[in-house]
Structure 1
Amino acid sequence: MATRSDLRNVAIIAHVDHGKTTLVDSMLWQSGVFRDNQDVAERVMDSMDLEREKGITILAKNTAVRWQTPDGPVTLNIVDTPGHADFGGEVERALEMVDGVLLLVDASEGPLPQTRFVLRKALRKRLPVVLVINKVDRPDSRIAEVVDQTYELFLDLLDDPSADAAALDFPIVYASARAGRATLEQPADGTLPDNTDLQPLFETILSTVPPPTYTEGAPLQAHVTNLDASPYLGRLALCRVHQGELVRGATVAWCRADGSVERVRITDMMMTEALDRVPADKAGPGDIVAIAGIADITIGETLADPDDPKPLPVIRVDEPSISVTIGINTSPLSGQSGDKVTARLVKNRLDAETIGNVSIRVQNTERPDTWEVQGRGELQLAVLVELMRREGFELTVGKPQVVTQEVDGKRMEPVERVTIDVPDEYVGVVTQLLGLRKGRLEQMVNHGTGWVRLDYLVPARGLIGFRTEFLTETRGTGLIHHVFEGYEPWAGELRTRPRGSLVADRRGAVTAYACFNMQERGTLFVKPGTEVYEGMLVGENSRPEDMDVNATREKKLTNVRSSTADELERLVPPREMALEQALEFCREDECVEVTPAAIRLRKTVLAQTDREKLRARARRG
């Protein structure tokens, strides 16, 4: 086997907010990609508007830096991956492109559920790991304890530790990504590494991550691991070349996912240098390139030698665990702010999403204008809906539901591994909340600093709508992280939202007089002047049942003067909900109307008389 010593492919994996994108920023700066006087935004790899707004990485992206060594320059292809569990499909795709990983762990928080998820995937592919203990300068860092916890996580995830002993022999780098400093010597808790740059990290990557290997003279094999688009070239396929050579303008064999083989021509080819794609004439084993010319190519397919086509295995990812229904907007206010309102446009957009997102599934329902969209979690589905909203779509989105399976005649449901950090005075209330949701406490650790960590296994449907209640009960101090663990037998009925809804009984504009009377009944979602319609939710009732209210009621004027008639009526500010919060709030008979201008909660059946008939039919059984 031959090797390419001038190239390394590495992915950065970690739990959300442990510093992956910040570390890539520092590596780009120190490799000389930017001029000293160049104005560059923080988290330069997070290029989507939603990524910058939410402060998380949603799509896996790659960059390339050149590092000078005594033997000559080495190109490092670095893939920045999402940290949130809902975007695990992006992580799985990224691992198909690389030969090693950097595992980032926060020096204070330690390994969390997503750390377990991404490390499990890397170990199953037998990729070498470089452990980076990041944020060592945090005042509450506990470096030695976090290293021990990471070793325990490795032992827990290795199926046979004796057979995988080499995986435990990983190098450890201590770093502060924000300061751009790294060292191989463990610093004191809360202090910066003694080294002033990231050179120890670069050298550790070069010595630990193996160079790409290939067989000389082998026929072409290039794996499609991601998709992109160009306004000039159309669809771009991002490929990792495993064997042979890919040449611009050449004819290759396109090995499709359905088993068929077709001869196609590569019209253009580009490689990544820093943050830009530059034209390339050819690419060898280990290179990551973007090619144009194949309009219908999808992720997981192979480009091979036309005379000897040998397809690589199609990329497989974990099955979806959460679903929502997405359809056209059927409310009386539809078509007022969006320009994409037809079923054909919605279906085409959902189909386009499945091409570039391997963890999304779209299935038909009984209605021709509504589809079931399955994904990894509420955030992933909410991001899809938010993107469509910004593109001008008007949608009706149903309550998130879990995707169940039938195994040996038993109904199985997804279960999440939950890690919660709370001040010790809230342990009782959190235990009570998760007990109602059929959660099982696996471990409780008191850090001795007034904070307690709770590890739970909870049915995924028990976590729908849990985050808002959790933050309320812990006064906003609690931290919660969860990741898909597996399937277990159906746990039975769970307690739903404890309070009912305030439902508008007619169309019109909300008045201050009506709000003043309604706020005694519960929490309002609307303010004076808001346009409402029959069946729209205008607030949360303080009691368990729903209540129909007149939100457009006006004060009757008379010609009799009163000394108390014009007293100031003070209104409580309405509760404004983002898209994820609105989806969490929904009950089974409720949905969310999403338009470019507004997010409205509503009943699935709008007419009050029709809802009464359905309730009466349900009571009769």
Structure 2
Amino acid sequence: MSSSQHLRNVAIIAHVDHGKTTLVDQLLYQSGRYREEQLDKLAGGQHGLVFDSNDLERERGITIFSKNCAIEYESLAGERLRINLIDTPGHADFGGEVERVLKMADGALLLVDAHEGPMPQTRFVLQKALAAGLKPIVVVNKIDRIDARPDEVVNEVFDLLVDLGADDDTLDFSVVFASGKAGFAIDHPGDEPDGMRPLLEKIVEFVPPPTGDPDGPTQMLVTTIDFSDYVGRIAIGRVSSGTLRDRQRIAVIDRDGKQTLQQIAQLFTFVGLDRQQAAEVPCGDLCAVVGLDPVGIGNTLASADDPRALPTITVDEPTLSMTFRVNDSPLAGREGSRLTSRQIGERLEKELRSDVALRVGPGETKEQYIVSGRGLMHLGILIENLRREDFELSVGKPQVVQRVIDGKLHEPIELLSIDVPEDFQSSVMALVGDRRAQLEKMSQKGGGGFVHLEFSIPARSLIGLRSRLMTATQGNAIVHHSLLGFEPVRGAITHRAAGVLIASEPGSVTAYSLDALYDRGTFFVRPGDEVYEGQVVGENCKAGDLVVNVVRGKKLTNVRAAGKDDTTQVRPPRDMSLESCLEYIDDDELVEVTPGKVRLRKIMLKEADRRREARRAMATV
């Protein structure tokens, strides 16, 4: 089993929600290493989610952090192999994870939904795989769907590969049809199911064994960093040359070429979902190395006698930035325990060690940080993790990262894909057209009354667009986007048309006050919620901001109007998630994030201060 000829390193790449995590669960189960109840236990009681180990991944149904596991398989030819499976994120915002883990693979399973076919993130991840020299095996998943159209989907995959400039060898791809949920794979639609064996045979036949010089000097590129409270940092990667041994003295070469001599404390290989201590790891296999510090992503572990650095990992630059700052609202410190700029800064530094797509720089003051990432979801996940770790902070409006190319200002351009019922097509076209978008493609989607639209659109135009699309299409739109590149700035776009309702006094919201303000707009707060002066409590029905009193109570007198208390009208509030708030805010507003609440507020809480700043801004124009 130590020979590289008996190894297969396979990355699984797919669009969000096309079933790759469920497929991996089935491969683990059918390999015989885990019983079904063991997988359920490992998944925290949630069947079919064993590879989504993070709470946010289970809640959102997406893969954020890459993982890897290994299964043992005896082929039909009687050959015993170990297959290292690498699960990768399907969302473009986590492309930093995708680019890294593809370094460990020699082949790829391209998973596509039997109805939806290739989607924007399919294109994004596949492009990265082709750039890494991986030839995909196409897995048409969810073949048991009533609306499955497998032949059309295979043709769409072929067209996508042509668009991406794939060579003739890649275009001659192998196809397998599967249902991760039902636990089978077949070579042709209509074949009799026999478990996942046809897929495993495809991997054995079409994924090449790892290359490298087993007798050469030791080399391993660190592609992932894990952390344990007991042993500290754990470097994960693939041995690309020589053999890595337990207790070996090695040179750790960082991204700048600086070398440090260190000793391996423990060495682990992957067996199923577990790590098993090993005396040595041969060329081509994946492993986890304990005892190295400093060590980071993109570092090379090399022979101490002949240290040679491997090419470091290149990652696309961030496209979106936000200001993270200390929470200074009147309600600060009531829920969280980590409040200071030093604690926020240390946490961001820790995140930089494992997230190569993230950038952190100083803000305008010592209490601010400029944090840049690949998209709103990328930064939103970071903020959500911070609040779950008992942090309190405020974040500013997302801003796109622009570049100067050949003396001209360029901005990131995204490929926006929208599937929508035909009845709402004109509404979508009007809404997107106001945001400097250009229609690239339009087609019917699977004959179900849906139309598929693709636009090239500035990344700044996407901020706040999803919620408006959902409103305009009554929740029927399916929206995805991925980065295309940078182009000259296309011009101004429309901003939030309506103003906001701002609390004038601190206190608890009353139904009496909301009833009196019923016609003023839509509120984000409920009776009983505690608010403070300067907090954004709703959206005005007109342009311009309006200061309102939402804590006013009913006067206690001896005079009563019959039936008045029974007719109090309180419109249901609009629930604002963290990402909805980040999309909604304007330049003079912040999102206050605490472990229990997400609030909107003005940067300047006092109305007099806001007016003074407005006069100053008018004077400088």
* Alpha-carbon distance between aligned partners in 2 of 1:214 and 1:186, rounded to the nearest angstrom: 38
Matched, 1:432 2:435: no
Matched letter for residue 155 of structure 2: D
Deviation at 1:563, TM superposition (A): 2.9
Unaligned runs of 5+ in 1: 188-192
The alignment's TM-score, normalised by the length of structure 2, stands at: 0.96
Partner in structure 2 of residue 559 of structure 1: 558
* Alpha-carbon distance between aligned partners in 1 of 2:39 and 2:22, rounded to the nearest angstrom: 16
Deviation at 1:214, TM superposition (A): 2.2
Matched letter for residue 530 of structure 1: D
Partner in structure 2 of residue 338 of structure 1: 336
Cα deviation per residue 1:395-435 (whole Å; 9 max; x = unaligned)? 00111111000111111110110111000000000000000
* Alpha-carbon distance between aligned partners in 2 of 1:39 and 1:354, rounded to the nearest angstrom: 32
Match 2:176 to one of 173, 177, 202: 173
* Alpha-carbon distance between aligned partners in 1 of 2:387 and 2:272, rounded to the nearest angstrom: 32
8 Å contact kept, 1:3–1:213: no
Match 1:141 to one of 148, 161, 184: 148
SS of corresponding position for 1:132 = strand
Matched letter for residue 156 of structure 1: D
Partner in structure 2 of residue 43 of structure 1: 49
Partner in structure 2 of residue 73 of structure 1: 80
8 Å contact kept, 1:299–1:358: yes
8 Å contact kept, 1:3–1:211: no
Task: Point out the more displaced range, 440-449 or 112-121.
Answer: 440-449
Match 1:124 to one of 124, 131, 150: 131
Query: Residues 96 and 39 of structure 1: is their aligned pair in 2 closer, same or farther, counting only changes over 3 Å?
Result: closer
Matched letter for residue 17 of structure 1: D
Deviation at 1:150, TM superposition (A): 0.8
Cα deviation per residue 1:161-184 (whole Å; 9 max; x = unaligned)? 5xx211111101111111111111
Partner in structure 1 of residue 14 of structure 2: 14
What are the residue-to-residue correspondences of 1:264-343 with 2, within 5 Å? 264-343=262-341
Matched, 1:92 2:99: yes
Partner in structure 2 of residue 359 of structure 1: 357
* Alpha-carbon distance between aligned partners in 2 of 1:527 and 1:462, rounded to the nearest angstrom: 31
Partner in structure 1 of residue 398 of structure 2: 400
- Report the identity percentage: 47
Deviation at 1:254, TM superposition (A): 0.8
Task: Point out the more displaced range, 581-590 or 211-220.
Answer: 211-220
Deviation at 1:43, TM superposition (A): 1.4
Partner in structure 1 of residue 524 of structure 2: 525
SS of corresponding position for 1:303 = strand
Partner in structure 1 of residue 61 of structure 2: 55
* Alpha-carbon distance between aligned partners in 2 of 1:36 and 1:25, rounded to the nearest angstrom: 9
* Alpha-carbon distance between aligned partners in 2 of 1:207 and 1:314, rounded to the nearest angstrom: 30
* Alpha-carbon distance between aligned partners in 1 of 2:378 and 2:37, rounded to the nearest angstrom: 37
Detail structure 1 runs of 4+ shifted over 4 Å in the superposition.
Answer: none
The alignment's TM-score, normalised by the length of structure 1, stands at: 0.96
* Alpha-carbon distance between aligned partners in 2 of 1:43 and 1:264, rounded to the nearest angstrom: 38
Deviation at 1:358, TM superposition (A): 0.6
SS of corresponding position for 1:520 = helix
SS of corresponding position for 2:104 = coil
8 Å contact kept, 1:99–1:209: yes
8 Å contact kept, 2:69–2:273: yes
Count of equivalent residues: 611
Deviation at 1:5, TM superposition (A): 1.4
Matched, 1:602 2:605: no
Deviation at 1:383, TM superposition (A): 0.5
Query: Residues 572 and 5 of structure 1: is their aligned pair in 2 closer, same or farther, counting only changes over 3 Å?
Result: same
Partner in structure 1 of residue 185 of structure 2: 182
Matched letter for residue 462 of structure 1: S
Query: Residues 37 and 503 of structure 1: is their aligned pair in 2 closer, same or farther, counting only changes over 3 Å?
Result: closer
Cα deviation per residue 1:302-325 (whole Å; 9 max; x = unaligned)? 011111100001111111101111
Partner in structure 2 of residue 190 of structure 1: none
Matched letter for residue 382 of structure 2: L
CA-based RMSD of the aligned residues comes to 1.3
* Alpha-carbon distance between aligned partners in 2 of 1:199 and 1:534, rounded to the nearest angstrom: 64
8 Å contact kept, 1:239–1:288: yes
8 Å contact kept, 2:4–2:282: no
What are the residue-to-residue correspondences of 1:535-574 with 2, within 5 Å? 535-574=534-573
Deviation at 1:3, TM superposition (A): 6.7
* Alpha-carbon distance between aligned partners in 2 of 1:542 and 1:264, rounded to the nearest angstrom: 64
Deviation at 1:572, TM superposition (A): 1.9
SS of corresponding position for 1:467 = helix
Deviation at 1:292, TM superposition (A): 1.1
